[in-house]
Chains A and B, each alone.
Chain A
Amino acid sequence: MKALFYYFIFPGFLFSVVIGLLACWVDRKVTARLQWRVGPPWYQNFVDIIKLLGKEIIFPEGAKITFLLAPFLGVLSLGLVSTILGLNIIYPGQGFLGDLIVVLYLMTIPAIAMIIGASASANPLASVGASREMKLVLAYELPFLLSVITIILRSGGSIQLGNILAHQVSFGSNIISFSGAIAFIVAILCIQAKLGFAPFDISEAEQEIMAGTLIEYSGLPLAIFKLIKALLLYTLPIFLITLFWAKDLSPLFLIGKFIAILVIIILIKNTNPRVRIDQAVRFFWGKLTLVALIGLILAILGL
């Protein structure tokens, strides 16, 4: 019973959806202000979701049943991520051994759900989007994992979120050190790609492949994909805070840090044009992996 409450209400699904949709509004509002506009009201994303729930669900000819199942796969896994992260922050030391690994795996599932759904939709543009998404996943996972390994090394080889948090409480945030700061920069750029924000919104590219992976979705499944976006916008900054910046996690500091990371992501999104997929892969596997390796070596040296 308690587990269900944790999973569905707080700090799991419902809570993170609400915060995520508000974060999406922050994204749209900051973008609007940067472009010298007023921007939408705070309830805009909620209205969008309600509207999408009321629309017709179109099942394209030639599509497979996985077309409808894929979004649920993504949203369920992200609900679990937000539950694990939230419980670790509220009750430190309650996690299980290896929950960091579980969270890392679960956070790739939305991208995989996107690929499955797009490939099942029998649309050529969606398959272009799916192939780009797949390459992007392969590209950003490497430096992202390297930066996570840096943190694991720094906290004495622990793969438990609770221990990483405890280590930071007693020895100061990871971001203060050299290796931690480098890993943080790498992780922020990888998260940009995980969220599908410019400059790495290649798989959704509105202007060239018309929403790519999402092109055939309408109504309820599209709403669920919007929820996945919102959940990612909540869980990924929280994950970063847990790993890098967790010295003080009292609610006020937590909200401040969350908004700070959000604004960094949005600023990167608004000041960079979209790169091509080959440029993105070269960037992640080349420069960024190199930087992440330097961070790793510094962590091994104990800096």
Chain B
Amino acid sequence: MNIKLKALTKSLWVFHAAASPCNNCDIEILDVLTPRHDVERFGITLAGSVRHADVLLVTGVPNYKSKGILKRLYEQAPKPCLVIAIGSCACGRIMFRESYNSPCPVDEVIPVDAYVPGCPPKPEAIIAGVVKLIEKVKHTTSKV
């Protein structure tokens, strides 16, 4: 593992990309960032602009409108950029699968690196997902 990847895993700046969720997952993400869980210990902070982002936290089922925006957001982020799908919606569209306004799941729009299922997932589950993502980055070299 080279120094670039090592630095990346120790300083993940997350960007919150909500692709039409029901908002519960977003509330759980905010919970992760509160003092109680204190993810700044691991260097994780919330970035305001997508140009500063290392990780996109995608929630919700993309609809016809947010699908294109999500793709553009991913293109705007500087590479290497990782993606975590948070919530069962983002992982596999659960009960919105048959909906008229749900063209595809998140991972058909942009490449997803880690999935955190749950409706909504607990903050602990989200942290576990990030840890798994870091493990994955450590074992791959093709991502950069």
B41 in contact (CB, < 8 A) = yes
Stretch at the interface among A35-43, A70-78, A260-268: A35-43
Stretch at the interface among A45-53, A136-144, A240-248, A250-258: A45-53
Residues of B21-60 at the interface with A, using a CB-CB cut-off of 8 Å, are 35, 38, 40-43, 47-49, 51-52, 54
A211 and B49 in contact, given A55-B78, A56-B78 (Cβ under 8 angstroms): yes
Q: What is the number of residues of chain B that contact chain A, defined by CB distance less than 8 Å?
A: 23
- Residues in B whose Cβ lies below 8 Å from that of A284: none
Q: Give the CA-CA distance A223 to B54 in the complex, in Å.
A: 14
A54 in contact (CB, < 8 A) = yes
A48 touches B11 (CB 8 A): yes
Q: What is the number of residues of chain A that contact chain B, defined by CB distance less than 8 Å?
A: 30
- Residues in A whose Cβ lies below 8 Å from that of B8: 51, 54
A58 touches B78 (CB 8 A): yes
CB-based nearest B residue for A121: B51
B11 touches A44 (CB 8 A): yes
A-B pairs with beta carbons under 8 Å apart, 29 shown: A28-B40, A36-B35, A37-B40, A38-B41, A39-B40, A40-B41, A40-B43, A44-B43, A50-B3, A50-B4, A50-B7, A51-B10, A51-B11, A54-B3, A54-B80, A55-B54, A56-B78, A56-B79, A58-B76, A206-B48, A207-B48, A211-B49, A211-B52, A214-B49, A214-B52, A215-B48, A215-B49, A217-B51, A222-B51
Chain B residues proximal to chain A, CB less than 8 Å: 3-4, 7-8, 10-11, 35, 38, 40-43, 47-49, 51-52, 54, 76, 78-80, 144
Chain A residues proximal to chain B, CB less than 8 Å: 28, 32, 35-41, 44, 47-48, 50-51, 54-58, 206-207, 210-211, 214-219, 222
